[in-house]
Amino acid sequence: MHREPSFLDRLVRTTLVNLVSFIVFIAVIGGIAYFALNKDTKIEDGTWLVLDLYGDLHEYHTPSGPLGPLMGGDELTLQDMLDNLGKAAMDDRIAGVIFKMSSSNSAGMAKLQELRQAVDKVQAVGKPVYAWADALTARTFYLASGCDSVLMPDGGYFDFRGISVQLPYIRGVLDKLGIKPHLHKIKDYKAAAEVVMDKQMSDAVKENVRWRYGEIWEEVLNTLAAERGLDRAQLVEAMEYAEFTTREAVTAGLIDETVYMQDLAERLKGEKDDRLKTVSHGAYTDVSWEDAGLKTGDTVAVVHAQGNIGGRENRVDPMMGIMMGHESIVRELQRCRYDEDVKAVVFRVDSGGGESLASDLMSHEVDKLSQVKPVVVSMVDVAASGGYYIAYKGTKIMAGPMTVTGSIGSINGFFNMKGFYDKIGFTKDGISFGPNADLGSDMRDPTDEEWQRHSEAHYITFNEWLQDVADRRGMTFEHAQTLAHGRTWTGTQALDNGLIDAVGNLDDAIALAMELAE
């Protein structure tokens, strides 16, 4: 006679199945972890390093949770690329570098310039570096031109155009939604507030864009002219043509040759080899500096600070992207402060800013650390607004020539959502006690008196920060005002106006930190 399983039978069976599944899952993860943590990259003499610049290029690894490294989810970063090129320069087993690249990458001009400088190190020891690109624009071409040859396949894309700077403005969208923004900005050059408050660039922001990108434009043109043996008139003429086939690009002197990757590999392989010996960028990342031939000495720690500033812990936010948390960064800086083996610190900053409180908390720890050990700030693509806030108390501040820095200003305020709420039928009701209890309410506009008080409070905190910047940079408050209020600068411009101490890359920052530690 057939008996239906009881509830208890089903519970026991389900529990056992789940338990076995969990054990299998743990075993699989353990196996992956074992192989991930016990990699042994074997490199033969005459091996070529193959790098690949494609997609996002963050300055350092993003917070990916405990399973990220085990599942192979760590992306190639700028730090990985710089390390790999540095190791390739001194590794006798590496014959040269094939630098694959595509215009589909997120690297800013400062990152691309730093990669060019890393390529120079490989070339300086007599090893060739070939750029092979499936698609190029002027931005990525700037990097490729620093290599020994620029190669593309027949079907590649070469779009050679000038620089265009556009900002998205959402005020019209907010108007349609019935949302009224009330943002107080300090001051005229703070473009981030304009994209919410206005529908087009103000004259001040246009002026700022012109002086910053004008210098970048000159750098790109001068570099391409020197590398490709063309004058400015020829480059401008090429940009007027704009869209090249790769064979047309060869004829115009923009690239050297059309060749497919398989054919390039055949050309470069040894006479006795069946195929070209290569090591991928991911595999070479696992090779230590010691294995590549570096002799170690005193420790200079590098602390990486990237992303939008806000919250306590580093994380990836679905809406905001990479977030820099103050407790994560303070914790790393404190480790350096208390570690006797760490003689100096390079604080690597790649951030356009964010929350002022979190910026202040990190800035304070930079100050405490710099009182006991040299702290050299190394700015990457951008170290502006809150990014400058966390940097300016370092012992020395260094930026790339095309780094975006400054933006010493502030944005504060709130939104009146009443019109939007009315559209969707949402209401609020309540009782208030005491003055200004609902200052900043999202159900109404602020009164003139409330807005005045809010603006005064905003200026008090900002002016305290600006005074400290002026004191530490050895300038008057009045002069600091001419550099602040949202103005952004290239690294070269920031050096000229006294906001930083030197122009240089990560290697330069490490060398300066070692010098200060002696």
Close Cβ partners of 394 (under 8 Å, ≥ 6 residues apart): 347, 366, 370, 375, 376, 377
- Range 339-366 average pLDDT: 97
* 41 domain-assigned: no
The reply to whether 358 and 242 lie within a common domain is: no
Instruction: Return the SS3 of 257.
Output: strand
DSSP 354: B
Residue 343, preceding peptide bond in cis (omega within 30° of 0): no
Q: How confident is the model at residue 4 (pLDDT cuts 50, 70, 90)?
A: low
Cβ count within 10 A of residue 91? 23
CATH number at residue 237: 3.90.226.10
Angle at 258 between CA 252 and CA 261, to 5 degrees: 150
The reply to whether 257 and 312 lie within a common domain is: no
Q: How confident is the model at residue 1 (pLDDT cuts 50, 70, 90)?
A: very low
Question: In whole numbers, what is the pLDDT of the chain averaged over residues?
Answer: 92
The reply to whether 353 and 239 lie within a common domain is: no
CA dihedral 378, 383, 387, 390 (to 10 degrees): 30
The reply to whether 122 and 222 lie within a common domain is: yes
Q: How confident is the model at residue 9 (pLDDT cuts 50, 70, 90)?
A: low
The reply to whether 385 and 451 lie within a common domain is: yes
Asked if residue 72 has pLDDT above 60, the reply is no
Pinpoint the alpha helices (H) of 339-437: 356-370, 386-389, 418-424
The reply to whether 231 and 332 lie within a common domain is: no
Domain boundaries, position 316: 294-428+442-517
- Range 284-313 average pLDDT: 90
Query: In the chain, how many domains are there?
Result: 2
* 196 domain-assigned: no
Instruction: Return the SS3 of 362.
Output: helix
* 182 domain-assigned: no
> What pLDDT is recorded for position 270?
87
pLDDT tens for residues 447-456? Answer: 999 999 999 9
The reply to whether 394 and 461 lie within a common domain is: yes
First-to-last alpha carbon distance for the chain, in angstroms, is: 89
> In this predicted structure, which of 165-174, 286-295, 412-421, 484-493 has the lowest mean pLDDT?
286-295
Residue type, 496: D
Distance CA 350, CA 355 (A): 15
* 241 domain-assigned: yes
Helices 203-228, 232-241: axis angle to 10 degrees equals: 110
- Range 1-16 average pLDDT: 53
Q: Which residues on adjacent β-strands are paired with residue 131? A: 99, 150
> What pLDDT is recorded for position 10?
52
The reply to whether 359 and 303 lie within a common domain is: yes
Instruction: Return the SS3 of 249.
Output: helix
Residue type, 507: D
Q: Give the Å distances, CA to CA, from 147 to 37, 281, 504.
A: 34, 17, 20
* 259 domain-assigned: yes
Q: How confident is the model at residue 298 (pLDDT cuts 50, 70, 90)?
A: confident
Domain boundary among 251, 268, 290: 290
Q: Where are the beta strands (DSSP E) in 73-179?
A: 94-105, 129-136, 149-152, 157-159
The reply to whether 315 and 409 lie within a common domain is: yes
Asked if residue 70 has pLDDT above 50, the reply is no
> What pLDDT is recorded for position 51?
97
The reply to whether 419 and 501 lie within a common domain is: yes
- Range 410-427 average pLDDT: 97
Given a contact cutoff of 8 angstroms between Cβ atoms, the answer to whether 439 and 446 are in contact is yes
Domain boundary among 290, 314, 339: 290
* 35 domain-assigned: no
> What pLDDT is recorded for position 75?
72
Question: Considering only CA atoms, which of 382, 381, 428, 377 is closest in space to residue 407?
Answer: 382
Specify the pTM.
Answer: 0.90
The reply to whether 261 and 283 lie within a common domain is: yes
The reply to whether 103 and 241 lie within a common domain is: yes
Question: Considering only CA atoms, which of 510, 198, 148, 121 is closest in space to residue 344?
Answer: 510
* 214 domain-assigned: yes
* 168 domain-assigned: no
> What pLDDT is recorded for position 66?
45
Domain boundary among 235, 265, 290: 290
